[in-house]
Structure 1
Amino acid sequence: MLDPDFDCPNGCDANGFLFDETTRSAYACTCREERLRRQVHADMEDNVGRYAPSRFQNLDFSELPLSGIAERHTAAASVVRRFGDRIDDNIRKGQGLWLLGNKGTGKTTLAYYVAQQARAGGFSVLTRNTTDLLNEIRDSYKVDAQPTTREIINAVTHVDLLHLEDVAVPRPNDWVLEQLYTIVNRRYEYNKAIVFTSDFPFGEHVNPAKLGEHIGERTYSRLMQMVGDPIPMTGADYRMQVGA
């Protein structure tokens, strides 16, 4: 049975089929493809991923924390807001975003806003800290592990929007570099959108190419084609200022 709460104007059954009384045969409703897509998305979220922790739900630019980020980083917030306004077009084109900046500048919140808009638009979303995702893949090699390695890789490959946090954090080794390449390359091949964040130390010159040195040039090259130029967010750690 597909989503029983799906409101179809054609009155199809729970599996998305209509019945032709004349021919005495069933045929697929026009909503069936969309219902199947939603079912796949729900299964992925149940088995593999989460959308967003409570801190990053119900984000609105008229309220904190987004209103504060927009005040401190107007240019970056404007780009993200425009991206969210055109979320349907951007996701279908496989267009993503890269938020690059200092710790505590609001990169994560803006990335979650994009994820929120995508989900509100009916797209499937998986959000992961990059280190956590790599640990989950490593753990999936164990006997009887759930989710399985195939389920994780299929999810991060086919989900409409993959949101990765702290891409530059995992310590690079051959295994880490290969997993990152597999994830990025598969999404590149399927023209799937990705939104990710990465940090650089406060006070240092912004140099996006350093990410290529960290994650490998072949992975970096594909990411650059998928997201374009990074959105810089520089400044002191706002979380530390608030706590002072």
Structure 2
Amino acid sequence: MESMGEVLRSMNNPALRMRSRDLEQELLNHPLVLRLKSEHPELEESRLRLHLSRLYQYVEEARHCANCPGLERCPNDFQGHFSKLTVESVGGFPDLYERKTACALQVNKDSQERIRKRITSFYVDERALSEGYDESEIMGKDPRRAPAVGRLFQYIERTKEEGLSPRGLYLYGSFGTGKTFLMCYLLYELAITGYSGVIVYTPDLVEELKAIMMEGQKVKEIVDTLKNCDLLIFDDIGAENLNPWARDHILGPILNYRMNRKPTFYTSNYPLDGLEKHLSFTSKDGEEVYKGQRLMNRIAPYVDVVQLVGENQRGYSS
């Protein structure tokens, strides 16, 4: 169908005036317009003729959507939206009105963006949060992972049904078995429900905090974010190079605030007893068993321990 603007610009030519009348009839007899007329017999044809440009837009955008080239190549005037016509009475007279309506692809994109905004990551590969998830692949990728994956799925479903619990999960296993990926999946699924979440790569977090330890306001902002989010994940805890300040004045207060309030999650290469040994040692003061035990007392009672067994997915032996 020709552009309505092109037709109107050529009205001085008799042959083209005839063509414009043919196009008008073609438009008024288009199946979409005929259906609109049958659904709204109260709308006089004279009103339709006053809104030929709207009808044209409506028909053209419906054609584009029927042959959708994808959201990024959407040819409609307002990307990801199509013209929707409604008939409304104003002052007792029915008339035609146009509204831009988001298509299914745009609705899905907007939904994904809202979900993603509920998740904050510090020093974690964004691909783990943005590439999407296939539950059957997660469960079936390595049969040895099935018990741990099942526990994760159970936690997600229970939280969706019963609400947030103060208990989190401690997921440990060897290198490359997918611990971070599974925790990102948990964050994503619960963000759909409306919960906010933060995942931090613990070694980089500790080094960053050491670097800015004299900048009190920045440190406070990070600590407050970790304290107050609904779901907090310390990824690869046990791999960081602790000093007493980071352990006793950062990790300790965060965990002390969250226990009995909000769940905290962990991934680690260590089982819990191995983590306790790690937390008992700092580069400055050496071994301090009591302080390690004190921190573990804010971790162990508030998590369910899940061992993840499986192949190294990174393509090398651990």
TM-score, normalised on structure 2? 0.52
The CA distance in 2 between the partners of 1:182 and 1:154, in whole Å, is 10
Residues 177 and 311 in structure 2, CA contact (< 8 A), matched pair in contact too: yes
Root-mean-square deviation over aligned CA pairs: 3.0
- The answer to whether residue 300 in structure 2 is matched with residue 224 in structure 1 is yes
Structure 1 unaligned residues grouped into runs of 5+: 1-40, 201-206
Conserved 8 A contact 1:51-1:127? yes
Deviating above 3 A after TM superposition, structure 1's stretches of 4 or more consecutive aligned residues are 41-45, 48-52, 67-70, 88-91, 139-143
Which range moved further: 89-98 or 69-78? 89-98
User: What is the match of residue 180 of structure 1?
Assistant: 251
Confirm or deny that 1:59 pairs with 2:138: no
Report how far residue 218 of structure 1 moved. Answer: 1.2
- Correspondence 1:123-138 to 2 at 5 A: 123-138=195-210
Alignment of 1:20-169 (within 5 A): 45=120, 53-57=126-130, 58-63=132-137, 66-69=138-141, 71-88=143-160, 92-142=164-214, 148-169=218-239
| Larger displacement relative to structure 2 (210-219 or 90-99) | 90-99
* Letter aligned with residue 126 of structure 2: P
Deviations 1:147-181 (A, max 9, x none): 71111111100110011111111123312321222
Larger radius of gyration: 2
Q: How many Å separate the matches in 1 of 2:207 and 2:294?
A: 22
Amino acid at match of 2:242: P
Counting aligned pairs with the same residue, the percent is 25
3-state SS, counterpart of residue 191 of structure 2: helix
| Post-superposition CA distance 1:57-101 (Å, at most 9, x none) | 3222123xx144462311001000111112246762212101011
Q: What's the TM-score, normalizing by structure 1?
A: 0.67
Counterpart CA distance in 1 for 2:161 and 2:206 is 30
Matching of residue 212 in structure 1 with residue 276 in structure 2: yes
Task: Give the residue type in structure 1 aligned to 2:253.
Answer: T
What stretches of structure 2 of length at least 5 have no aligned partner? 1-115, 280-291
Structure 1 residues 176, 151: closer, same or farther in 2, change over 3 A?
Answer: closer
User: Do structure 1's residue 234 and structure 2's residue 309 form an aligned pair?
Assistant: yes
Distance, in Å, in 1 between the alignment partners of 2:228 and 2:212 is 18
Distance 1:141 1:91, change over 3 A: farther
Taking structure 1 as reference, are residues 102 and 95 closer, same or farther at Cα in structure 2, changes over 3 Å only? same
